[in-house]
A and B are shown apart, each in its own frame.
Chain A
């Protein structure tokens, strides 16, 4: 992936800038879009996904099929958990995108941006392509977090089914955070990964 000047984009740098800005904005308000979904917990996500990994979004483009826009993202694995390997490049589809002034928003689909780092849960969507399990539930943002061991956390923008309906229990504030490293250890455990 090269930019107009022929240079490889410094996506790690951009990821950090975006993540820092997102971190600052999170204190104001941040709620993700979505549709009617069955809320999945971590165990469901790992079980349903063929591929689980921490990835950098190295490129995105928007493809059009008639009246349908799709964001096609190229993801580079920076930490593999299940079904992939470090450095592997994967292609994932997310419905919706922008062409000129026309934007197609599919409620619930992750809106991936080049330079982001995400923990992704992918399932096959055709030969050599993937889609996100549980739509945005399968594409958690990785954000800097000073209080987390290792300095990073995963950010969840979706209400968890762990709170029983009509229980009156307080809902976790969204986005909710979880330190990245213990979260990955949990994913490893669930995936039965052997390294």
Chain B
């Protein structure tokens, strides 16, 4: 009897410890609308060439990343979303972003192999550099270079309508400038959720036949953003790696577990794009992203002024302490 009670208690504790649904949807900071595509067939292209990796290998890895989201099934095996993707082939275009007046916007995956800050990448005196205050980041598209923070591994830019949340364009940039050693290596029969099963972790940027910053791992995560999912930070670093969300924001050298979706990622996909039904707007049962708060009325000097005072006093105290 005692054993049965213990088993019941453990089962209950286990059930309570497992978050039922924790995915995060991307939301507008001001209108709070959730982001989604109206189409169930997202077209994308891959920019070529990629100087440091065999293009066919990258193409296969990125295709597999899209396929993973297409094939998503619930733990019971149900195919709960009909979102699909069409690869329109390689392109020499490298421009990210969106022009509302243009008819040739594309959803692009691009590997930036040069850093805009490196000597010789942007010619000295180029207008894109001189015009930095009025036209920032113009050099990135013009010279196909990485202009973001070097510690970002990859970055997704999503364009949408502020009132409806409807996504009109999304681009993925991968920081392949040398800061991260990207690889597409995989042993036959690998299980991405089993550390080491797809290959050993690379030891250096010149190491071969190993897993470094895995292209498929990285791009599968970014596609989650393309679809309108934000980060699920509560499902990072789980003891059971199969529960690690693809939408966990951090990655390391040798990571492969984002190649496969966790039940939470699938729940997010299917909540936005349920099979045979229109896309949903925000679902209150999922976590929501709150990135700003409304400003309230205030007429006198506010406590942020107090913050300045607190900081000033702290400096005075520090000086006195150092003198004594």
B-contacting residues of A (Cβ < 8 Å)? 10-22, 24-26, 28-40, 48, 54, 56, 63-70, 72, 78-79, 91, 93, 95-96, 98, 101-108, 111, 113, 115, 117, 123, 125-127, 129, 131-135, 138, 142, 144, 150-152, 158-159, 161, 163-169, 171, 174, 180-181, 184, 188, 195
Query: Contact string, B108-136, partner A, CB cutoff 8 A, digits 1/0?
Result: 00000000000000000000110011111
Instruction: Check A135–B159 contact: CB distance below 8 A.
Output: no
Asked whether B28 is an interface residue with its Cβ less than 8 Å from the other chain, the reply is yes
Please determine whether B155 and A72 come into contact, CB atoms closer than 8 angstroms: no
Give the nearest-CB partner of A102 in chain B: B100
Q: A66 is contacted by which of B97, B248, B302, B318 (Cβ under 8 Å)?
A: B97
> Closest chain B residue to A32 by CB distance?
B291
Show the binding face of B for A, using Cβ within 8 Å.
Answer: 24, 26, 28-30, 35, 95-100, 102, 105, 128-129, 132-138, 140-141, 147-149, 151-163, 195, 218, 221-222, 225, 230-234, 236-239, 241, 244, 248-252, 287-308, 310-311, 314-315, 318-319, 322
How far in angstroms is the closest Cβ of chain B from A90? 13
Bound complex: CA of A144 vs CA of B30, how far in Å?
Answer: 22
Contact check, B308 vs A78: say whether CB atoms are below 8 A apart: yes
CB contact under 8 A between A28 and B236, given known A37-B152, A63-B134, A165-B252: no
The closest CB in chain A to the CB of B241 belongs to A166
Using A36-B153, A96-B157, A166-B237 as known contacts, say yes or no to A70 and B136 having CB atoms under 8 A apart.
Answer: yes
CB-CB nearest 4 A-B residue pairs = A67-B97, A168-B239, A21-B293, A16-B302
Taking a contact as CB atoms under 8 Å apart, the answer to whether A132 and B149 are in contact is: yes
For the complex, give the distance between the alpha carbons of A32 and B195 in Å: 28
Whether A103 contacts B28 by the Cβ 8 Å rule is yes
A195 touching B318, Cβ below 8 Å: yes
